Structure 1
Amino acid sequence: MADNDEYDRFLQTHEFQLLVNNIPKHFYRRLYEKMKNEIFDSGSYFQLCPADDDDEELEGTYNAERRYYVSTLQDIVLDPHNDENAIFLIDHAWTYRIKDARNNLTTIPTLYERMASLMNIDAETKEDGIELVLQRMWKYNQTYTLTSTQVETQRDCEETYEPYWYIMDELGSSIRHSNTNANVCCTSFFFGPSQTMFSIFYPIVRIDQPYTEIFRNFVYDNNETLDRSIRLLPWKHLHARKTFLRHLTIENSSELFNQKLQNSLEIFEKCHQHDLYDKKQILMNDSIEIDQDRVWKVYTDHELVTQYLNDKHYQLIDDPDQADILFVMKQLNEFRHETIENKLISQFPFENIITNKELLALTARRWKSLYGSSTSDNDPYIDSHGSPPWLATTFNLTYELSQFAVYFQYREDQQLDNTWIVKPINLTRSIDMSVTNSLDMIIRLPES
């Protein structure tokens, strides 16, 4: 009875993960039992087989440098519709944050040796090997970010939401990619009772032939788009990647570079779609008469203001409707005069075109399209892109990944510096910011 109660709690607390990962319901009970008891039984169903570097039959260009592939054993049959046990756990060999990766490889015993073996690296020195691991790990990396319900967060602690990257064990890392022959689904799953992140995989088609190779799809968007092809570049042979990008020059693909993201009203509008503001101009006094003896009522959600605003002219209150001053961190949506009247507030309508890093860059590009001129270095890509000369060339990788990848290859061919600063949209204070010249890394970072 107790076990059934625990299982029911598992279903309640993990419902979102079960649904968003599209895990079939008949796997739920066995998945719970395997995670609770840490049952890693994939060795009874699968084996590692040496990869043949000369075998190009099954999309070999997407599986460069892998030592092994995974296949079923001789008499194994996996039915995704009826076999309740056909869901398997994968352990994680290395979990880290990007800023700690090099130090981990240097200080954690045997970690470098395991990664070098897993990634098929043979270097003369450990220092050279670590550099190769840091380059090649983007062919193996997976990522997750813990939510507020999975961790005990402190107030105003964005570091909690910095993403983790991980590399699966030898079995999980040897499952190769296929566009057309994927027969398993692989995803991460956080098990609350033990606070453990697992990877899990299960069949999506019936597997009944002896020694069937196991494939997964590294990019789940199956639409045959240019963006999907770009996202798959980290797993392609270097020569094939360069050839692919060189065919997408501005001369050959002008339609790609004629798309002006800065002219997309949708991007700007969705950032303030819930804002309420006066459509007509409201005339207000240019100045506020200040009574030197007045005590201003202040409402704030900022911990530092609460701690240090102790002047006798200010009184902290808990009701924003009664406040004279609103000094808040959370984004306000109500700016109508009839609501805020003569309150002093720390925000203004549409301020996110300045405070949001991605909108600030687009606003600068809109300025150039209205008032600017061509850049001084005669770079056709930058002229098309629209970055003004006083702002570092900036791409929004959510919408402009393809344009960026082509430009990256152009700069490499021109032997220009190709070092880029990559910032997440949803974090501030340089949290999770990376500086890199690795195209693999830049393509993979938006996954977090």
Structure 2
Amino acid sequence: MSAYEGFVAVHKYQLASIPEELWQPLFMKLGEDYLDAGNFVELHQGDIVPGYSVHTKKDVTLKKHSDIFLIDHAWTTTPKEAKQQLRDNETLLDRMESIMDIEKEELADDEEEDEVEHDDEVVKMVAEQADVSYGEAKKALEEENYEVLNAIMKLTMDEEHKKEADRLQEQVINQILASGRPQEKEEEERKEKEEAHKKRLEELLERRVERVYCQMWSYLQTYSFSVLQQDGEPKAQTAWYACDEVGSALCHSSDPSVVCVPFIFSRGASGMIPYSVMFPIKDIKAGEPLTCDLLPKNLERPIDRKAYLLAFQQRLLADEDVQKITKELVDSYKAYQTSLEATQPPKSSKITNSEESVKALLSHPAEKAKEPVKVASTTPFVCDNLKLANTKLVTDEDKADIIWRSQDFMEWDSLKEHQTINQFPNEFCLTFKQNLAALIQKTYGSPEWVPRTYNLVTQLGEVVGNYLNNEESKSDNLWILKPWNLARGIDISINRSLPELIRTHDSAVPMIAQKYLTKPCLYNGKKFDLRYIVLLRQIEPTMIACVYNMFWIRLANKKFNLDDLDDYERQFTVMNYSKYEMTQLDYKSFIYHMEKENNIKWADVQNDINQAMKDVLAAAATQPQPLGLVPDKKPGFDAFSMYGFDVMLTDDFKPKIIEVNFSPDCTRACKYDPDFVNNIISVVDSRAGDAEKGLKSFTVL
């Protein structure tokens, strides 16, 4: 096999998007790292766009598929690492400022000591008092650093006294010099100046880094790749890269003249080298701008495509009217908001909230009361804490009455009629953040007890319209970005930049954008959220749900403000899965202090929280799959589920349901309440324990 044939075999999937007649020249240029685009094109500034654009030279034309050019990647990064990389590499920072047409800020000269201006009246007064000339008075003032009395004494003292004063002064100075104090003072002043200069350099660097970070979303491109994890499963990741000066100057057009796509060149044992390749897809006349389509192919709705363009405002061609796009997006958002407000929740008699009726529904036939309940579990806190006398742990799920897994269960057809599983089919409708948002919006519209949430994959136009509407009304525009299905605070960030918000659509892990709570209720000045364990016992024929009375408070480590959005310990509350220390609060003490400090009745706040959690579950229990939990036909098994509800409070003590978590880790709950698992199992199956006793640890929703 020739080298060229090997190249084609290794890169066949990437070559599929490139005309075959360009494969050979691409192979040759890659082998020599031949960056020859500069022979054909040149950069213009302020020509068709405010920044740079790339044009064919005045004496050069390019024919369709006539050539292919390598575009170097000037920077490869991730959103989390970008700022630190810029801080650590000033050469990179300089180049990014140049590519992005950002004027470099230089450090101003250190402030010089203000010269003392001559006060004519003071000089005249000294001259008069000392009976000397104006010039002599001025000179004495300068020598005495404009200390008026010292200047007059100097001028009026006779020669004998002057000699004695000078002798004493010299003696004192010699003693001071011998003690080293002037040197100490001089060294101290030098260090102070150095520290001040260093601080000004750091502040300058941070301003430059911040400007590049804010601007980079208009220039960075992406490609996705997979990395094998320790368990052998691939994990999708996104590489964010900035092209060189030519690639970064390509303007957008929906009718482009060139294609520019990433191409990862494999050199075998030498490793992989990322490039982009550019080739003309139409004839380009001399002096014409080169344009490419910057929009992702997965954007199908016109409103989403227009929204995405606003991430590249500085690279739009003149015929793209940003104001027109903005108006269309705001109007679209307002129409969407009107439709949400018109949503009427379905009327249903399925919701049970009588504790007596719940007890009756939970009871099992008397003849089975003495049979041991076999429990199979892969969940450590269940195995370690199940102590009910009428239960037996087994390892074979086929022989179990209750199956409690901490992993997703998918073998629904294998379950028998007498078995109970700790999951409902399709409970992703609650535990995936984008699905929860869709469920709430379809059922209730836009209730006050959830933050406004958008799916960045399917609702880009709506979230950008909301952002622009907030901008027009001068409302705050802070958004928190979260992966669809990751918990424990993984990969979340706070955002106020529209381009960054839009470009998050390109992440390999799909994301939601949720309105950030800028006026949260605080505990000793710190943010907190509340974790509730909610048991959903059944959804058919009536919904039975109850919340464990004990709840957990997760507290930020630093006092809340909006000055530093990158400070995790100030903005976030999930510390037990991070490198930070976790502050633990007893819920009874928390309630006592909240009532004392805020003059409220916690029972009223708790009622609002309970109603919000009930509404969430009611939506799932009344909506058919895949939107909700209701199956097409009655399943041949029993089910229950335990969810972790994360709740925040506004500064006027109104609840916000932040998210619902699948199979929450309750190890900490078992430490606080050793009967936690026993109470749940008793409520799930009264043959295992006293359901009425177990219910005392719950409040029926």
**How high is the TM-score relative to the length of structure 1?**
0.69
Deviations 1:152-176 (A, max 9, x none): 4322888x53422111111110111
Q: 2:87 aligns with which of 106, 111, 134?
A: 106
More displaced 10-residue stretch of structure 1: 411-420 or 66-75: 66-75
| 1:374 aligned partner | none
Alignment pair present for 1:178 and 2:237: no
Q: What is the CA deviation profile of residues 111-144 of structure 1, one whole-angstrom value per residue up to 9, with x for unaligned ones?
A: 1111111111124333222221111111101112
Paired residue total: 373
User: Is the 2:333–2:462 contact (alpha carbons within 8 Å) kept by the matching residues of 1?
Assistant: no
CA contact (8 A) 1:10 1:32 kept: no
Unaligned stretches of 5+ in structure 1?
A: 264-282, 370-385
Change (3 A) 1:137 1:67: same
**What does the per-residue CA deviation read over 1:371-428, in whole Å, with 9 as the maximum and x for residues that have no partner?**
xxxxxxxxxxxxxxx3221211112223322222222122223322211012233655
Amino acid at match of 2:34: F
1:206 Cα deviation after fit:
3.0
The separation in 1 between residues aligned to 2:5 and 2:471, in whole angstroms, is: 59
Q: Name the structure 2 match of 1:161.
A: 236
**What 5-or-longer segments of structure 2 have no aligned partner?**
106-203, 344-361, 385-391, 508-701
The secondary structure found in structure 2 opposite 1:146 is strand
Q: 2:41 maps to which residue?
A: 47
1:313-324 counterparts in 2 under 5 A? Answer: 315=395
- The 3-state SS of whatever aligns with 1:128 is helix
Residue 169 of structure 2 is matched in structure 1 by: none
Distance verdict in 2 for CA 1:73–1:241, change over 3 Å: closer
| Counterpart among 207, 210, 213 of residue 131 in structure 1 | 210
Q: 1:434 to 1:145 in 2, by over 3 A?
A: farther
Q: Does 1:420 align with 2:479?
A: yes
Q: 1:70 to 1:334 in 2, by over 3 A?
A: farther
Q: 1:346 to 1:8 in 2, by over 3 A?
A: farther
| 2:208 maps to amino acid | G
Q: How far apart are 1:103 and its partner, in Å?
A: 0.8
Instruction: Say which structure, 1 or 2, has more relative contact order (CA 8 Å, 6+ apart).
Output: 1
Please list the CA deviations of residues 214-255 of structure 1 after superposition, one character each: whole Å capped at 9, or x if unmatched. 1111125698923222111122369964564246545x8764
Amino acid at match of 1:131: E
Q: 1:143 to 1:220 in 2, by over 3 A?
A: closer
The alignment status of 1:228 with 2:223, answered yes or no, reads no
Q: Separation in 2 of the partners of 1:79 and 1:168? A: 22
* Partner residue, 1:439: 498
Partner SS state of residue 499, structure 2: helix
**Does the CA contact (< 8 Å) of 2:263 and 2:274 recur in 1?**
yes
Cα contact 2:42–2:56 (8 A) shared by 1? yes
Q: Does 1:7 align with 2:7?
A: yes
Deviation at 1:332, TM superposition (A): 4.4
Aligned to 1:406: 465
Q: Which has the higher strand share?
A: 2
In structure 2, the CA distance between the partners of 1:120 and 1:8, relative to structure 1 (3 Å rule), is closer
Q: Structure 2 length as normaliser, TM-score? A: 0.46
Does the 8 A contact of 1:90 with 1:198 survive in 2? Answer: yes
Pairing 1:97–2:48 present: no
Name which of structure 1's ranges 95-104 and 240-249 shifts more when overlaid on structure 2: 240-249
The Cα of 1:98 is off from its aligned counterpart by 0.6
Note closer, same or farther for the CA distance 1:8–1:99 as it changes in structure 2 (3 Å cut). closer
Closer, same or farther: CA 212–410 of 1 in aligned 2, 3 Å: closer
Partner in structure 2 of residue 23 of structure 1: 18
Percent sequence identity over aligned pairs: 29
Give the direction of change, closer, same or farther, for the CA distance of 1:142–1:430 in structure 2 (3 Å limit). Answer: farther
Report the secondary structure of 1:390's partner residue: coil
Does the CA-based 8 Å contact 2:446-2:452 persist in structure 1? yes
Match of 1:206 among 283, 294, 298: 283
Q: Is the 8 A contact 1:45 1:76 kept in 2?
A: no
CA contact (8 A) 1:72 1:214 kept: no
After superposition, the Cα gap between the structure-2 partners of 1:40 and 1:432, relative to the gap in structure 1 and judged at 3 Å, is farther
Q: How does 1:331-342 map to 2 (within 5 A)?
A: 331-336=408-413, 339=415
Task: From the CA coordinates, give the structure whose radius of gyration is larger.
Answer: 2
**Shift of the alpha carbon at 1:342?**
5.5
* Aligned equivalents of 2:231, 2:337: Cα separation in 1: 43
Q: Relative to structure 1, is the Cα distance of residues 409 and 43 closer, same or farther in structure 2, using a 3 angstrom cutoff?
A: closer
1:311-341 Cα offsets, whole Å, 9 max, x none, are x9665x9xx9899957464x544423x6556
